[in-house]
Structure 1
Amino acid sequence: NPKRTRFRKQHRGRMKGISYRGNRICFGRYALQALEPAWIT
């Protein structure tokens, strides 16, 4: 029923697992690495 789910927040699930894409350095010798899993906006 769309009338009931009007102001509901979308609950995003738990971030789990190990990242496989984008976790190796493409070029150069230094890189940035996230220390905790989060949604990047």
Structure 2
Amino acid sequence: MLVNVLDFFKNLPAKLCGTCGEEMVEQHDCYTNKCDKCNSL
């Protein structure tokens, strides 16, 4: 069964920072894996 493309993107889990594990306020397809706080360290 095929999934609707919009439903697929709506159901993606929140992206987490690779360093501290905090939820990032970014689009899920963004390439960075660090939040602003950890990126500035």
Higher relative contact order structure (alpha carbons within 8 Å, sequence separation ≥ 6): 1
TM-score band, normalised by the shorter chain? under 0.3
Q: Whose radius of gyration is greater, 1 or 2?
A: 1
TM-score scaled by structure 2? 0.23
More helix by share: 2
